[in-house]
Structure 1
Amino acid sequence: MSKEKNKKEFKPWWILAAFLVMIVINLMPVPDALGVIGLRALSILAFAVIMWVTEAVKYPVSSVMIVGLMIILLGFSPVGDLGSVLGVPDLSGSDMLGTQAALSLSFSGFATSAVALVAAALFLASAMQITNLHRRLALYVLKIVGNKTNAIVMGTILVSIILAFFVPSATARAGAVIPILIGMIAAFNMSKESRLAALLVVTAVHAVSIWNVGIKTAAAQNIVAVGFINEAMGMDVSWLEWFIYAAPWSILMSVVLYFVMTKLFKAETNEIKGGRELIQSEIEKLGPIKPSELRLIVIAGLLLIAWATEGVLHPFDSSSVTLIALAVMLSPKIGVFTWKEVESTINWGTIIVFAIGISLGTVLLRTGAAQWLSDVTFGAMGLDNMPLIAVIALVSIFNILIHLGFASATSLASALIPVFIALTTTLNLGDSSLGFVLIQQFVICFGFLLPVSSPQNMLAYGTNTFTVQDLLKSGIVITVVGYILVLILSATYWQWIGLL
């Protein structure tokens, strides 16, 4: 058993392939427009992409390997005239960057407010799990909608929407809803292989992914994008601004999801008799609402208000208010958990992966590697002679296709957002630059096609309630409609509100 597990966690041939590709890139002639340090940054990106796509090792392990490579390859690279951009203005053109400066670059991601927000968000998601508040909320919504199968589908979507506001983790949201649905199916002697099971679980996981787009704090990859936008473009996107831009897409797609799922998956029954009673019994198992849950409701409610009024009623950004909320949650008497309770529920590797992903993206931006990659990749497509809508259409297709190889949207955002930011310079997009990058980030959240497209898909797939074909059948329709809606909003709403 342990040998099989090790095989899954360790894929030596892919590790070897990643190193070989990196070495080959380093041995290539250095393009005039790139420079040695830029070429080495690209070689590290190639290594990272292969490791991420194949999951040759666990993501935190590959992240530490990336840090080591950045220290060695960048540290012994001549910086040319990039010294000031890389934070070493005292070096002349012939000097090496040095391992100390390379180490600082490798850990630059840890110094960003985006990492603080993700870390605090993980604690908030953990608070929901420890108190079981997210499960209670889900049960109450499902109790209200009733016994009809289509009503339960609608309730599943509503639960995902509500939790997206308060639980900043797609995996945690899926983990709250799916066990309840599985329990309902089992309680009424329905097989896990039934159409009803597939209908409810696939609906839940698609709804989670749809609302990753609509709410800034719903997914870590959104914070990656905002961090790069802040670093490279000198702009910020508040929680409310993101919601105004993205929520209409998610609302419309939620309606689409309901009709797609109820048409594609014909359940064996139109009604789950006794469903409401079953939900009530599950609520009773949770017992009366605890003081810690009440305190968490108050904290989460105030946090949501603070997010929504950022830059309007107060000067605090999303990261700051979330960290303040975390401090309150950890405080004795008025908090909701102790450090001992929370430390075992936090996936600390997520923070490492997130921060080092930002570091790699920052290196790509500062060395000019992202700009060169953008020019080479998209320049050949003649995008500079196309209207903006055509550019969005083509780049979005590229974005959707490349996502097929990534199991982590956070890693995908770390690799692509710097390239998309550079592309705005190549294409001279001007005032439309922010909108273009944000729209591509929305598309990065598309994880509808395969189980490996996102962690929440893998969690759902592990329940054995649906096949890859089931997910693909619904996912293709959702992806195509979502893509068309992106183009429609690009031509209308996003232009009307000044995003493009």
Structure 2
Amino acid sequence: MTDTSVPEERTEIDRSAPAEGGSTEQPQSTLSRGEQRVERFRQTHGLWLAPVIAIAFALLPISLPTDQHLLGAVLLGVITLWITEPIPIPISGLLGVAAIVLVGVAPVDEVLAPFGSSTILTFIGAFVLAKAMLKHGLTRRFSFAVLGLPGVGRSTPRIILAFGGITCVLSAFVSNTATVAMLLPTALGILDVIARLLGEQRHEYRDVDPLRLRVGTALMLVLAYGGSVGGLLTPVGAPPNLIGRGLIEQTTGTRISFGQWTTMALPICGVMFVLLIAILLLLNRPEIRRINGVQEYVARERKRMGGLTRAEINTLIAFSVTVLLWITPSIFALTAGTDTAVYESVNNRLDEGVVAIIGAALLFLLPTQWRERKATLTWSDAATIDWGTILLFGSGIIFGSLLEETGLAESIGSSASELLGVATPFALTALAVGLAILISETTSNTASAAVVVPIIIPLAVAAGISPVVPALAGVFAASFGFMLPVSTPQNAIVYGSGAVRITQMVRCGFLFDLLGGLVILLLVPAMAALVGVVS
């Protein structure tokens, strides 16, 4: 009889931050000594390199207006800090905002105005909803429901496919990093079951290390990469989406609704998901295909969870109300048309930021224990959401706004257009995709979007090209970065499990970067035209 008991997690543990369901265990990444030395070198030298680059640029005899010249100097310093990360990325952005005011680029009220934008509210509301889903175990319940589907647990390719699908769907609404961290223990548990079954087949169980199986590599990487693919599906799926969408709306006046974004991203995500599964199964062929025991493990875990709790029901209500209100303007657009007074009224009132706050507020209103006045979520829970990303987003919007208002964006675009000779929409879109992927491999996806979009938009304007499609392609590509453990938090988490070697991640990540970039290059223009983002 196969023992399918839950195995011990084979990850390093950080006990400082609460995880799902009250647990305090979160998987953390581990880097080799060589990688640690590279990280220390990068961070140490970034600390002095950033101010040197900023000051040197400010002293160059460039024929630019003073405000453009100083803004460019500050921006170069901040980009250096974002890439080298000697201090947390959100703090780097805030330091840049402070420097803008100190050197006199613009008045403080004008500089800080973007922090009150609707997109900031969307960020906050979405993060609070995600916090409730993780805290009360709704994401875990969904995962086991999918794995419990007939036939899924009897085949390793199907398990990999199921885990990839679960990760994609959850990452469309919940933090990619949180989704992967939440699913990792379950994946490791199933991997241990597979190793035991493989050992029994070979009559050498003790020699089968679950962390050295090809199927383990595929299972871990489908979590990491699936989170990035799924994050593209909705505007709130990943920080680069909201940052890029906000910059596009602010600089071009083109507003992309929740429904338009999701409709546009769905086929892109679908094609990328198929490519992801194909790449991982081809490069990491499972040692065993047919298995028994996983379904029993999943069934036991589902039985242990029991029925839906009041907190889970409340979270489902708040989430459903939010999504319904988000897509309501798109429903009216399809039924009544975008030129009608009804659509205009609904669209103006159901702002996505306002809707996100309404959904988040429901979590503090819907009770779990009325007599004790205990709500689904407490403020102490909300205080632990990713405020750093929100601050980084605000600072990125500030830089994008000032690039436009001071005219520096136009100056950069004109100069770069002459230098690079980018004169066609296809060439500019390819440049945006390549640049975003390259930056995402060395720094955060969020910082990549904040850097690339403000560069691409003025390039397009200077070349007489509509900037919407190249900017959107850059935003989608900013969620890439699959080759290195430091490229995304998801990569770092699965690398820390010990089941993925750096060579395997580089090999699979490079191929997925390449094919994913081609998918974006070919599908974004077509889908943007189809949903009416561009004419």
Determine if the alignment matches structure 1 residue 123 to structure 2 residue 114: no
Partner residue of 1:163 out of 170, 195, 204 = 170
How far the C-alpha of 1:456 sits from its partner, in A, is: 1.8
For 1:446 and 1:17, locate their aligned partners in 2 and report how far apart those are by CA, in whole Å: 26
Q: Which of 499, 503, 513 in structure 2 is aligned with 1:465?
A: 499
Match of 2:117 in 1: 112
Among residues 371, 374, 389, which one is paired with 2:413 in the alignment?
A: 374
Whether the aligned pair in 2 keeps the contact of 1:181 and 1:201 (CA below 8 Å) is yes
Q: Give yes or no for contact 1:310–1:318 (8 Å, CA) kept in 2.
A: no
| TM-score, length basis structure 1 | 0.86
416, 426, 450: which one aligns with 2:462: 426
Residue aligning to 2:153: 146
Supply the distance in 1 between the matched residues of 2:418 and 2:488 (Cα, whole angstroms): 30
Query: 1:48 is matched with which residue: 78, 86, 89?
Result: 78
- How many residue pairs align between the two structures? 462
Q: 1:175 aligns with which of 136, 157, 181?
A: 181
Q: Take 1:199 and 1:273, find their aligned partners in 2: how far apart are those partners?
A: 19
Q: Tell me the residue number matched to 1:89.
A: none
Deviation at 1:496, TM superposition (A): 5.2
8 Å contact kept, 2:433–2:521: no
- What is the Cα deviation at residue 8 of structure 1? 5.9
Query: What displacement does 1:487 show?
Result: 3.1
Alpha-carbon distance between aligned partners in 2 of 1:27 and 1:272, rounded to the nearest angstrom: 67
2:60 aligned partner: 28
Q: How far 1:293 moved relative to its partner?
A: 0.3
CA distance in 1, matches of 2:308, 2:530: 45
CA distance, structure 1, for counterparts of residue 162 and residue 406 of structure 2: 49
Is 2:404 the counterpart of 1:404?
Answer: no
- Asked if 1 retains the 8 angstrom alpha-carbon contact of 2:168 and 2:231, the reply is no
Look up the match of 1:84: none
Measure how far apart 1:262 and its partner are: 0.9
Structure 1 residues 181, 104: closer, same or farther in 2, change over 3 A? Answer: same
Query: Which position in structure 1 is the counterpart of 2:98?
Result: 68
Rounded Cα–Cα distance in structure 2 between residues aligned with 1:399 and 1:375: 20
- Distance in 2 of aligned mates of 1:400 and 1:117: 26
Listed as ranges, the gaps of 5+ residues in structure 1 are 78-96
CA apart distance, 1:434: 2.0
Percent identical among aligned pairs is: 25
Query: Take 2:528 and 2:403, find their aligned partners in 1: how far apart are those partners?
Result: 29
1:446 to 473, 477, 480: 480
**Residue 48 of structure 2, aligned match among 16, 23, 33:** 16
Under a length normalisation based on structure 2, what TM-score does the superposition of the two structures give?
0.81
AA in 2 matched with 1:339: W
Q: Larger deviation: 364-373 or 40-49? A: 364-373
2:325 corresponds, among 306, 311, 323, to 306
Instruction: Map Cα deviations across residues 374-395 of structure 1 (whole Å, 9 max, x no partner).
Output: 33334311112xx322332233
Contact 1:53 1:405 in 2 (8 A): yes
- Indicate how the Cα distance of structure 1 residues 364 and 493 shifts in structure 2: closer, same or farther if over 3 A, else same: closer
**CA distances 1:90-148 after superposition (whole Å, capped 9, x unpaired):** xxxxxxx5xxx1x2244233111111111111111111111011111111111212221
1:310 deviation in Å? 2.8
Instruction: Give the whole-Å Cα distance in 1 for the aligned partners of 2:258 and 2:142.
Output: 23
User: Which AA in structure 2 matches 1:131?
Assistant: H
User: CA separation of 1:67/1:494 partners in 2, compared to 1, >3 Å: closer, same or farther?
Assistant: closer
Q: Deviations over 1:315-352 (max 9, x none)?
A: 21222211110111111527521213332x32322222
Q: Which moved more, 1:478-487 or 1:220-229?
A: 478-487
CA distance in structure 1 between the partners assigned to 2:55 and 2:291 by the alignment: 59
Measure the CA separation in 1 of the matches of 2:161 and 2:99.
48
Q: Is the 8 A contact 1:228 1:418 kept in 2?
A: yes
Cα-to-partner distance string for 1:35-71 (whole Å, 9 max, x where unaligned): 1111111111111111111111112332332233122
| Contact 1:214 1:248 survives alignment (8 Å) | no
Go from structure 1 to structure 2 and tell me whether the alpha carbon gap of 1:37 and 1:218 turns closer, same or farther (over 3 Å shift): same
Using the TM superposition, name which of 38-47 and 277-286 deviates more.
277-286
| Residue deviations 1:195-234 (CA, integer Å, cap 9, x gap) | 2221101011111111222222211111111111222122
Residues 496, 116 of structure 1: alpha-carbon distance in 2 compared, 3 angstrom cutoff: closer
| Cα pair distance change 1:379/1:213, threshold 3 Å | farther
Q: 1:64-463 alignment to 2 at 5 Å? A: 64-73=94-103, 75=104, 97=106, 101=107, 103-144=108-149, 145-167=152-174, 169-187=175-193, 188-189=195-196, 190-313=209-332, 314-315=346-347, 316-333=350-367, 335-343=375-383, 345-384=384-423, 387-406=424-443, 408-429=444-465, 432-463=466-497
Change (3 A) 1:216 1:284: same
CA shift in 2, pair 1:11/1:443, >3 Å: closer
SS in 1 for 2:265: helix
> Hey, what's the Cα distance between the residues in 1 that align with 2:146 and 2:387?
31
Q: Secondary structure at the match of 1:383?
A: coil
Classify 1:152/1:421 alpha carbon distance in 2 versus 1 (closer, same or farther; 3 Å).
same
Deviation string for 1:130-179 (max 9, x for gaps)?
10111111111112122210000110122023213432x11122122222
Residue 80 of structure 1 corresponds to which residue in structure 2? none
Q: Which runs of 5+ in 2 are unaligned?
A: 1-32, 197-208, 333-345, 369-374
Structure 1 pair 273–9 and aligned structure 2 pair: CA distance change class (3 A) = farther
> Match of 1:215, as an amino acid?
T
Task: Please state whether the residue corresponding to 1:453 is helix, strand or coil.
Answer: coil
Q: Secondary structure at the match of 2:307?
A: coil
- Worse-matched range after superposition: 333-342 or 45-54: 333-342
Instruction: State the AA in 2 paired with 1:175.
Output: A
CA distance in 2, matches of 1:394, 1:448: 19
Give 3-state SS (helix, strand or coil) of 1:29's partner: coil
CA RMSD between the two structures: 2.4
Q: Once structures 1 and 2 are overlaid, which stretch shifts more, 117-126 or 374-383?
A: 374-383
